[in-house]
Amino acid sequence: MKRKLISAIGIAGMMVSIAACGGEGGSGGSDKGADAKELTVWLTVDAQNNWPELVKAADAAVQKKHPGLKINHEYYGWPDKNAKLDAVLATDKAPDVVEMGNTEMLGYMVKGAFAPLDPGEFDTSDAWLDGLKASVTYEGKTYGVPYYAGGRVANWRKDLAASVGVKTPPKTYKDLTAALDKIQKKQGGKFSAWYQPTRDWYAAMSFVYDAGGAIATESGGQWKASLSSPESLKGLKEFKNVVDSYMHGDKTKDESDRYIVYGQGKSAMIFAAAWEGATAEDPKNDKTGKLKGNLENFVMPGPSGKNMPVFLGGSDLAVPVKSDAPALAAEWINAFTGSSGQKGLMAKGNLPNNKTDLATLKNDPKTAVPATAAESNWFVPMAPGWGQVEKAQILQTMLQSIGTGKKSVEAAAKEADAAIDKVINTK
C-alpha cells in the first residue's frame, strides 16, 4: 500500500502542547507507566481484518506479565488515520501505541511527537531491514519499531514472453531488455512492453540508487540534493531510456492505477509493489481474460549487474511522547513484532522486519522472489524537510519533464536539486 508522508504543516498545531513534554516518556530504559492499568493501541484495519489473532496473542503475552491490565484497541483506515492522530495528540488523551506507514514517521519524529525507544528492548533489532531501520531513526535516536515490510518486484506476462522464445524470467538487465525489445517489436508501437509511469519516483529512484547515486546526501548535519551527481544522472538517463523505449502510454501519469492499466492487457510487464500483479489478474480487473495464472513475479535485475535496489514500504509502531504507559507500550510492541509475531506475519504473506527471518523466506518458492528483492533496498533521506519535498512533488515534476522530453535529464535534475535544497533542511 502506498503511504504518503504527511507534511510538517499537518502536525504543527499539536506540537505546542507536546513540546512541554520534552524528552519524557518512552521506554529508553524508563519504567514510566509500568504499573498502568490500561493500554490503548491504535492499529490500521489491516491488522483487524487480516491477523486479529496476532493482536490477541500479543495482548495475552503482556497481560500474563501484568494481570488485570486492560488493553483497548482502535482501528483506523489509512486515509483518515493521521488527521485523527494529530487531533488526539493535541490533547492529554494520547494512545500508547500507534501504527504508522514508514514514510509517515519522519514528520512526527522531527516535531518530537514520539518518545525515544531503546532498540535493545526489541527482539530482532540487531537485524532490522536497513530501509525499515532508517524509517524509525532520526538524529541518531530510535523512535519506532519496524512492524512488517512490503517490497517491489518485476511482473510480466508469461505468454507474451514465450511468444518471443523466452521461457524463464531474466536474470540480468541485458536479458530483460533483449526480451522486451522482441516483445515491443512484435506487439507494435501502441503497446507498452514495460508499462512504466513516468511520475513513479519509487521506480526511478531505484535506477538512481542502482547506479550509485542518491536523492540527497548528508554531511555535518546538513543535507544536500545530489540528483545532478554523475551517478544519479546515469540512473536517471537509464530510466528515461526505459520510458522512451517501452512506455507508450500517457507520459504524464503516476503509478496509482498501474494495476488497472496492466489488467487491460496493454502491457507486458510492470515493476511494482508485489501485490499489483495479483490485483491485475483479479477477474474484476482482468479485461483480457488471459491473466489468471499467466503473470509471473521475478526479482528485478539492475543495470549495475546486481539486483535492483527497491523502495521498502511497510509499517512501524511508535509510542507517543504523551503516553501514560510507555514502558508497557514497549512491552506490547515487542510481543507483537518480536520473534513469534514475525512468524505469524510471514504466514499471512507479509515480509518480516528483519534479515534473519527474511532469509528463511528465500527457501520457499512462493516467497523467494519478494524476499530476495527486499534484500537490496533504499529509503528516503531522513532529513527534517523531506516532508516538504514530497508535498511539493519535486521528484514527480522532474520525472515528467524528463519523460515527456520537456527538459533534458541534466536540466531537470539541476532544477530539482535547487528546489530540494531550499527546503530539505527546514524543520
pLDDT per position as a tens digit, 357-371:
999 999 888 899 999
- Is 5's pLDDT higher than 60? no
Cell of 45: 484495519
- Is 154's pLDDT higher than 80? yes
Q: How is the chain split into domains, by residue range?
A: 38-151+312-378, 152-310+382-422
* Residue 144 falls in which region: left (phi positive, over 0), alpha (psi -120 to 50) or beta: beta
How does DSSP assign 76-117, residue by residue? Answer: E-HHHHHHHHHHHHTTT---SEEEEEGGGHHHHHHTT-B--B
Count the Cβ atoms, other than its own, within 10 Å of residue 64. 10
Task: Tell me which amino acid residue 240 is.
Answer: K
Q: What is the pLDDT of residue 33?
A: 62
- Claim: this prediction has a pTM higher than 0.75: yes
What does CATH list as the number for 38-151+312-378? 3.40.190.10
- Is 214's pLDDT higher than 80? yes
The whole-angstrom separation of Cα 323 and Cα 95 is: 6
pLDDT per position as a tens digit, 326-360:
999 999 999 999 999 999 999 998 999 999 999 99
- Is 4's pLDDT higher than 70? no
Residue 36 is given by DSSP the state -
- Is 18's pLDDT higher than 70? no
- Is 73's pLDDT higher than 60? yes
CATH T-level topology, domain 152-310+382-422: D-Maltodextrin-Binding Protein; domain 2 (3.40.190)
The whole-angstrom separation of Cα 153 and Cα 420 is: 28
Q: Do domains 38-151+312-378 and 152-310+382-422 have the same CATH topology?
A: yes
Residue 427: CB partners within 8 Å, gap ≥ 6? 8, 110, 111, 384, 385
Q: What is the pLDDT of residue 92?
A: 86
Task: Tell me which amino acid residue 252 is.
Answer: T
Q: What is the pLDDT of residue 243?
A: 98
Q: What is the pLDDT of residue 151?
A: 87
* Three-state secondary structure call for residue 157: strand
Which DSSP helix (H) or strand (E) runs through 395? helix 394-404
Count the Cβ atoms, other than its own, within 10 Å of residue 168. 11
Mean pLDDT to the nearest integer, 15-36: 49
Of the pLDDT bands very low, low, confident and very high (cuts 50, 70, 90), residue 24 is very low
Q: What is the pLDDT of residue 30?
A: 57
pLDDT per position as a tens digit, 292-334:
999 999 999 999 999 999 999 999 999 999 999 999 999 999 9
